[in-house]
A and B are shown apart, each in its own frame.
Chain A
Amino acid sequence: MANRATMDGNTAVAHVAYRVNEVCAIFPITPSSTMAELADEWAAAGLRNIWGGVPVVQEMQSEGGAAGAVHGALQSGALTTTFTASQGLLLMLPNMFKIAGELTPTVFHVAARSVATQALSIFGDHSDVMAVRSAGFAQLCSGSVQEAHDLALVAQAATLASRMPILHFFDGFRTSHEVNTLELLSDTQIRAMIDDDLVRAHRARALDPEHPVVRGTAHNPDTFFQARETVNPFYAAMPGHVQDAMDRFAVLTGRAYRLFEYTGPADAEHVVVVMGSGAETARATAAALNARGRKLGVLQVRLFRPFGAAAFLAALPGSVRAIAVLERTKEPGAPGEPLYQDVVTTLAEAVADGARAIMPRVIGGRFGLSSKDFTPAMAGAVFDELARAAPRRGFTVGIDDDVMHTSLSVPMDFPPEPEDEVRAVFYGLGSDGTVGANKNSVKILAEDGTRYAQGYFVYDSHKSGAETVSHLRFGPRPIRAPYLIAQANFIACHHWGFVGRRDILRLAAPGATLLLNSPFGPDLIWNHLPRAMQTRIRALGLRLFVIDASRTAQDVGLRGRTNTILQTCFFAIAGVLPRAEAIERIKHAIRKSYGAKGEEVVQRNFQAVDGTLARLAEVPVHNAVTATWERPPPVSANAPGFVQQVTAAMLDGRGDDIPVSLMPVDGTFPLGTAAFEKRDIAEDVPVWVPDVCIQCGQCGFVCPHGVIRAKYYDAGRLADAPDGFLSAPINARGYPDVAFTLQLYLEDCTGCGLCVEACPALSPTEPGRKAINLHHKGGRAIAERPRIDFFEHLPLNDRARVDLATVRGVQFLEPLFAFSGACAGCGETPYLKLLSQLFGDRMMVANATGCSSIYGGNLPVTPWAKNAEGRGPAWSNSLFEDNAEFGLGFRLAVDQHVELARRLATALAPRLGADDVAAMLDAPQRQESEIRAQRARLEALLPRIAALGDDPAARDLLSVVDHLVRRSIWIVGGDGWAYDIGYGGLDHVLASARDVNVLVLDTEVYSNTGGQASKATPLGAIARFAAAGKRTARKDLALQAIAYGNVYVAQVAMGANPQQTLLAFREAEAYPGPSLILAYSHCIAHGYDLRHGLRQQDLAAASGYWPLFRYNPAMRTVGENPFRLDSPRPAIPFRDYAYNEIRYRALAQARPEEAAQLLAAAQTAIDEKYRTYEEMAGWHAGRFHPPVPAAT
């Protein structure tokens, strides 16, 4: 065995990139973030590169910034790299042109990912790398984990030799996240590939005042063109440099690569040309078909730019009659995708020049966009297409294009997977540890060097209760199958709820082993399986095993660690190893992990393994299908047609089957679809106690998922209420016969418990009992359905009569943001829900990319909803970096259309009723009652406008008249956007004096990409990219905005003071200029149970770390101090807040001395900052600058 290891593609690449560079400039973006994170961790741990230095790893504010820093470091002579994907790569484009134009050696490692078009996608294809192909970088593509590891080094050697920068890319997720066995390069091998003379040459070209030059000049028409052509010899030589590096690499490692790797018979007639992981699939398919007598070849393109025409022609057999160029990208409007065009051009030129006798027929087609699985069956369909008399150009494979009919039909069962492999599929919940246990199993089983393993993990887009599907392969040969398992011989369902919801046997091979984690034992389980499942178990002859993992975990002393229990079961019955040997292997791993803790701990874990095996039972498969029930449909029968047809298929795991014709053409989707997805994921759910409740509204206010709704209504309606419908007399004077109900949507609840924490009402007779308490769900969720139905038929409370100024009043406003897939206990979503309650029916939301765009807009469903009048938030996500500008664009358009509507209404006033038009144009619209009144005026006017018929002015007015109801523009995003990548734009928008409202959901890290540090990350906290603890204080964005003088600024924390939050939201919205709200949002990236999120918010304010304040410029116009400090002086030390969170405590445990210093520094900073605020709160109005014009 050589130096064999098991890792994912990102790790394999970073392993090399880190060792051959001196500077890494980084910024997080999926799926490349892992490479940057590893570099940061290794640098923090002092890991050295091949020259004995520790590379400096610098996080930047954006990919644009990272590229700038790379450019600067390269110009200054350091070996420099970066890691990125998708939009990130596009942001680097201007610098890439510069870097290439200046012939600067560097390698950018890219986990290739879709570029957002009609929708964002985090998954893999080549649209990003193809979009930058004109930058002048060489482009080298890897098709597997091993290849990505190896070519990362080849690229570094070649860039130094050639002076040409290289973009080294591999398939996002499919390669970047696939765990596979590989031969790891030793540092000696890496060292041997790098020529230090070339490094010195790079250094010698650096900017240096000892030998000064100027670079980056500007040219005129007289010289630019010629200067641009100077680089041609370098491009011409580049393929040779890369092949040289590959050849040297082959000598060192025995692994040989070609620029164009042809696999197949020398007399092949049909060839597929492809880049990336698809090549592995195509090769395996061709081999299987050739075994049946076909003559098929595969040509894998590794060096795409510069396109080595000679090498391509040399690799392609002369016998070839038809070529299909498969591309993982789409170039709309082009005669074909980029590689196709290169192939056609190269062949045409060769034929024209007489270098090649026959011009083969060349067709191009698309596959695998956004990580769409590319299977051998699909590759087979491509070969079949080539064999047709008139194969289609511009085909697609892997989808059903029923609009333009481009898609190839794919055989269902082709070809069989190897018999000596074990293929295991696991269905788990995101939070149950299944993925971690499976990664661990892959390592354990592959570590002896006799076996190869592959792991690939599929996630859904929810952040709570997410479903994970793990695909694991084990076999005696390297596993080259970059596609999902279709025929599993082991299936484990780790969550009993899936049995009734998912078709977990969809991938089962005949005779497979099925493991169910079930509360029902071997005697009972059969009768709890749905009919279709029983039928398939019998038809496929499956072996069925069952274990109650939760109970077993408790019994064997591993409470909560069901993943360990189920991992043991997998080892015992999956057949990767004989059972006894497999158990021995697990115990060996335990000894390795726990040996340092003493024999007692090891033995206790051994006992847990033995105890688990004793409880694992094989269930004799019944000889009859006994069940009478089937899996229920994924959405209710009442759902609208689109939801039934499209959303339901996605929810059911059948999204791949949705044809083109059913998808919206422009990325437009209906609202409120989350309401149809009853995920039912909570184990414990809240139960309301009407006689204890004081109807304060706090529980509903903080509920992250909008599952707590209140209504007051005529008590007479209760006569029709279903059994168990709870109510209480309304707790307000002067309303006899009015009842109040707090309705809980239990199937949408995540069981986070924030409602219970927020509830201030305690039972006077039952200690510890509140007005809302968590109870085990049991059958409560189903029992609640008729009550919810009744509740929904109660009339909505009139917004004009609700007191919007109090938390108590807000509970009666319908949320138009509900049931999101955000984390249980999310600290962000309550703020969005509040926005939607207050302004949802006239709100436009520009949402920066991040958590809020994922739980807000990631299919299958959206929590943004509309009300019974059909109105609701109009929401869109543009990008990560441009959200403030995007939202300002909303404002500019709205202002124009308001102006147009006013002009047209004025012009048509004589025909519409001058008084009514004047009343409408002059109406105040700051209060909710005024908005309602304006809506009524508009409703009255609409028929009169319509009655003007085809009058162009009237038709124009109709198209914009809605704008006469004041719109509320909200720009929403996280701190990564507001403090870092979008800061320049945000600053500009705040300075614009336009009426926009900015809500920063401040989690103090890039939550969505895994908790990387932003400039909002506090001093002393650890985070991704701040592995050694953040050394600088959080940026005071509020003070920066206050400095403008005319920006409304508030800092709020719902858990510390919900009333202040409400006040700030309403003031910000009412303020007719730019507003900025910084909202403390607790987050799982802080490292504690989010059930305590509200308490932490309170402590943050109480410690002075997060003072609550409002700066309202409107106050200045009346001579008042605009700055109000809403929280009292710090009452507790910062430590008492901070050390409840792992992000702070971890450093105290790992590096106590440093942590103590940082803690002291943080305390000093807090004290000083509070003094500043306190002083400002005491200023007279005239001390605030600059002067502002009077508010209108």
Chain B
Amino acid sequence: MDLATRYLGLALANPLIASSSPLTGALDNLRRLEDAGAAAVVLPSIFEEQIAAETAERERLARLSEGFPEASSFFPAGSVPEAGPHEQLALIARARAALSIPVIASLNGTTEFGWIEYARLVEQAGAQAIEINVYFPPVEPTLDGTAVERRHLAVLEALKRTVSVPVAMKLTPAFSAPGAVIRALDAAGADGFVLFNRLYQPDINLAALRPSRQAILSSRSEIGPGLLWIGALAGRLRGSLAAGTGVETAEEVIKYLLVGADTVMSTAALLRHGPAYLQALLEGLERWGQARGFASIESLRGCMSQAAVGRAMRMERGDYIQILQGFTPILPGAQGGE
């Protein structure tokens, strides 16, 4: 089976990408991912706030040492680089030298200045594409949806002006009309979309009476929004589509491809099982495709998408009603009630 696909204009050997996670932060892991068959890797995000905080801290320390008659500063001049994504940039360069698969950098920022500065740096360091993670939960109730959308657009436009490598946007589904937003971003020049980023899920630790901060890996039950919106958008965009939540087994990979994803990204499964698990996903995909007689990824991609099956959007509501009406709740104490 021909697994080749394209993403962000890059030719990939297969549709499986190791997405941004702590796993992709070490060169050894990146090598192992490539060996396991990853078609591309997305490196850990560069967080603008972290760099800003570090910059502020260094400025504060520099100011602090000025007050001493006996010390001009506590570190030799030039020995402390300006705060910045030094380790990440070094990793990009080393990954490019060590790997033959594309290396995608990930940026997670809040301001246009941060995006631009770091996008330029990662491009210079050799990243072949940039994934921007516009993680911006609009929890401030006075912020309206239009403003949020405008912000996404502004970030994209600033980035596209700055770099020449392709730019993918990693989005959450928290828009009133995700499809329209994505189309607008597509029209503004986004080279691809990663659907979806999950919003922060708050929890509370009752024993300590404080917010719980456990990172919960995604599970296969969460693939629904991705299936829906990739299905709705496949074939209707200039840019590529990557699916990115809830990949536990090859089944989720196949489902995403069937609704029209160009590539599928995995974080949770690789964190759970290690880089070698990527090979298992790939083999599962290939086995299924061959069993079903698909000669290539191209031939199976999108065959279940909205566009491919020609369903009208209104039919979706029909499905929804049908599902709800067909649902029989199990209530406490209901056993043996009849």
Contact = CB atoms under 8 A, between A and B. Distances in A.
A767 B87 CA distance: 36
Contacts of B58: 1087, 1142
Contacts of B117: 597-598, 601
Contacts of A44: 76, 79
A1149 B86 contact: yes
Interface in A1070-1106: 1084-1085, 1087-1089
Interface string B57-78: 1111111111111111111111
Contacts of A433: 59, 62-63, 66
Contacts of B162: 598
A37 interface: yes
A1148 B86 contact: yes
Contacts of B65: 1010, 1084
Contact of A435 (B67, B81, B210, B211): B67
B79 A430 contact: no
A1122 to B, nearest CB: 38
Interface in A738-789: 762, 764, 767-768
B45 to A, nearest CB: 17
B113 A601 contact: yes
Contact of B87 (A41, A1010, A1149): A1149
B72 A468 contact: no
A1149 B71 contact: no
Contact of B59 (A561, A597, A768, A1026): A561
A961 interface: no
B67 A41 contact: no
Nearest to B93: A1152
A600 B87 contact: no
Contact of B74 (A40, A561, A563, A1084): A1084
A122 B58 CA distance: 28
B81 A1010 contact: no
A1027 interface: yes
A41 B57 contact: no
Given A1087-B61, A1152-B87, A1022 B66 contact: no
B17 interface: no
Interface string A412-445: 0000000000000000011111111000000000
Contact of A41 (B61, B77, B116): B77
Nearest to A463: B68
A1150 interface: yes
Contact of B210 (A41, A768, A1025, A1084): A768
B197 to A, nearest CB: 25
Interface in B56-112: 56-81, 84, 86-87, 90, 112
B236 to A, nearest CB: 33
A1147 B211 CA distance: 35
A696 B73 CA distance: 38
A660 B64 CA distance: 35
Nearest to B82: A1149
B160 interface: no
A430 B72 CA distance: 11
Contact of B63 (A436, A461, A598, A604): A436
Interface string B155-177: 00010001000000000000000
A653 to B, nearest CB: 16
B208 to A, nearest CB: 8
Interface residues of B, number: 41
Contacts of B78: 41, 45, 1027
A1143 B72 CA distance: 16
B72 A1010 contact: yes
B71 A1152 contact: no
A173 B69 CA distance: 9
Interface in A531-571: 559-561, 563
Nearest to A560: B56
B66 A1150 contact: no
A1074 to B, nearest CB: 31
A1089 B57 contact: yes
A1008 B70 CA distance: 7
A34 interface: yes
A459 B75 contact: no
Given A433-B63, A1142-B80, A1146-B80, A604 B70 contact: no
Nearest to B91: A1152
Q: Interface size class for chain A?
A: 35 or more
Contacts of A70: none
B76 A468 contact: no
Nearest to B64: A431
Nearest to A434: B66
Contact of B66 (A430, A598, A1089): A430
B74 A1024 contact: yes
B57 to A, nearest CB: 6
B209 interface: yes
A177 to B, nearest CB: 8
B81 to A, nearest CB: 5
B120 interface: yes
B265 to A, nearest CB: 27
B210 A459 contact: no
A317 to B, nearest CB: 41
B57 A436 contact: no
Contact of B209 (A31, A767, A1088): A767
B114 to A, nearest CB: 10
A823 B61 CA distance: 12
Given A601-B117, A1149-B86, A122 B70 contact: yes
Contacts of B66: 430-431, 433-436, 468
A1150 B80 CA distance: 7
B161 to A, nearest CB: 10
A432 B59 CA distance: 10
B139 to A, nearest CB: 18
B69 A1150 contact: no
A1017 B209 CA distance: 41
B48 to A, nearest CB: 13
Interface in B205-225: 208-211
Interface string B290-311: 0000000000000000000000
B116 A430 contact: no
A396 interface: no
B75 A1011 contact: yes
Interface string A1131-1169: 000000000001100111110100000000000000000
Interface string A992-1030: 000000000000010011110000000000111111100
A1015 B81 CA distance: 25
Nearest to B62: A436
Interface string A110-125: 0000000000001000
B116 A431 contact: no
Nearest to A38: B77
Give 5 nearest A-B pairs by CB, closest first.
A430-B67, A1010-B71, A1149-B86, A1027-B76, A1011-B74
Interface of B: 56-81, 84, 86-87, 90, 112-113, 116-117, 120, 158, 162, 208-211
27 contacts: A33-B70, A34-B72, A41-B76, A41-B77, A44-B76, A432-B63, A433-B62, A434-B66, A461-B69, A468-B66, A598-B116, A598-B117, A604-B113, A823-B64, A1010-B70, A1010-B71, A1023-B75, A1028-B79, A1084-B65, A1085-B74, A1089-B60, A1142-B61, A1146-B75, A1146-B79, A1146-B81, A1150-B81, A1152-B87
Given A122-B70, A1010-B74, 7 more contacts: A431-B63, A435-B66, A468-B66, A598-B162, A768-B210, A1022-B75, A1084-B61
